[in-house]
Amino acid sequence: MSKSVCKGSVRAGLALGTALLSTVLCATASTAVPGDTGQRACPVVYFDLGETLVHTADDGSTGYQPGAASYLRALRERHIPVGLITNVPSSWGSTDAERAARLKQEVDATWQGSAPFPWKDFDDRVFTPRTEAERKPAPALWQRAKAGSGHCRVVHQAETAEEVRAASSLGFVPYRTGLPHQPAFLPVRLVELLALRSPA
Q: In the predicted model, is pLDDT for residue 37 greater than 50? A: no
Average pLDDT over residues 135-162: 96
81 belongs to a structural domain: yes
Report yes or no on 199 lying in a domain. no
What's the domain count of the chain? 1
- Separation between Cα atoms, residue 3 and residue 53, nearest integer Å: 37
Between 146 and 37, where is the model more confident?
A: 146
> Long-range CB contacts (< 8 A, 24+ apart) of 156-163?
156/46, 156/47, 156/48, 156/85, 157/45, 157/46, 157/47, 157/48, 157/52, 157/185, 157/186, 158/47, 158/48, 158/52, 159/48, 159/51, 159/52, 160/48, 162/137, 163/48, 163/136, 163/137
Instruction: Let me know if residue 200 belongs to a domain.
Output: no
Look at residue 106 and tell me whether its pLDDT is greater than 50. yes
Q: Is the pLDDT of residue 197 over 70?
A: no
> What span, in angstroms and rounded, lies between the C-alpha atoms of 120 and 122?
5
Q: Is pLDDT of 149 > 90?
A: yes
Mean local confidence (pLDDT), 75-102: 97
Residue 82 in domain: yes
The residue range of the domain holding 160 is 3-193
Question: What is the spatial distance between Cα 12 and Cα 131, in angstroms, rounded to a whole number?
Answer: 45
Structural domain includes residue 57: yes
CATH, residue 141: 3.40.50.1000
pLDDT of residue 195: 79
Query: Comparing 32-36, 40-44, 104-108, which segment has the lowest mean pLDDT?
Result: 32-36
Domain assignment of residue 75, yes or no: yes
Cross-strand bridge partners of residue 175: 157
Q: pLDDT category, 41, cuts 50, 70, 90?
A: low
Kindly tell me the burial class for residue 172, based on how many C-beta atoms sit within 10 Å of its own C-beta (0-12, 13-18, 19 or more): buried
Query: What is the per-residue pLDDT for 23?
Result: 52
Is 123 inside any structural domain?
Answer: yes
